Amino acid sequence: MKGKLILILLTVGLLGVSCKNRKPNGSGSDAISIQVYYTEQYCGGAEPPPELMEKMMETRPYGNQTVYISVFDKPMKVSNEVEVKLDKAGIGEVALDTGVEYVVSFYKLSDPEPPAAEGGKKAPKETEPGGAPEVEEPTNQELCEKQWKHMTAFPLKLKGGSKSYVLNMNKECNPCLPAKP
């Protein structure tokens, strides 16, 4: 009987330690908490009533939404993008390294990976009859969208010892879209 009690206590203790040491959205780093607040701009169209305009300018939690945190490599270039789901208060947890420059965005910033071929390898690019690889040039609309998303990203620099960050972000109008009537 005493052996079973020790075995049960040992199992419960190991489960407790493993749950406590679990790291959300990453590994090798300590988890931090971010809380995202936002305001938004009026982006044209029929003018909303004054109450709605006031609400848009009011800072409020970005609840039950998703933000993207990426390592800032250089302008228009990010890497290691992580999707962070926020709770109803706009709070999410993520494991990030200190001393690294990050950006937080409402939008996915990294370029999509080319489709993978069978076996997990990247699919080879098709070639034109002359043998030169086909290169798809981005449209002006795609370039505009990419620049706008990168320009609206919020910088985040982690400080050693800080485990909680509050971000006040602004949802800006997309200048790449045609004006609303």
Q: Which residue is listed with tokens 């029929």?
A: 46
Specify the long-range contacts of residues 1-10, CB closer than 8 Å, at least 24 apart: none
Alpha-carbon gap, residue 110 to 120, rounded angstroms: 20
Q: Does pLDDT of 123 surpass 60?
A: no
* Global confidence as pTM: 0.72
Report DSSP state, residue 134.
P
Q: Are 45 and 180 in contact (CB under 8 A)?
A: yes
Domain coordinates of the chain in residue numbers? Answer: 33-110+139-172
What would the two tokens of residue 74 be? 């250089």
pLDDT band for position 103 (50/70/90)? very high
Strand duo 66-74 + 77-85: pairing: antiparallel
3-state SS class at 146: helix
AA letter at 61: P
Q: Which of 87, 94, 86, 105 is nearest to 25 (CA)?
A: 94
Alpha-carbon gap, residue 68 to 90, rounded angstroms: 13
pLDDT of residue 101: 92
Q: How many CB atoms lie within 10 A of CB 25?
A: 16
pLDDT of residue 136: 74
Q: Which fold has domain 33-110+139-172?
A: Immunoglobulin-like (2.60.40)
pLDDT tens track for 46-96: 888 999 888 888 999 999 999 999 999 988 899 999 999 999 999 999 999
Q: Does pLDDT of 128 surpass 60?
A: no
Q: Which of 66, 78, 61 is nearest to 25 (CA)?
A: 66
More confident residue, 179 or 102: 102
What would the two tokens of residue 133 be? 């690889």
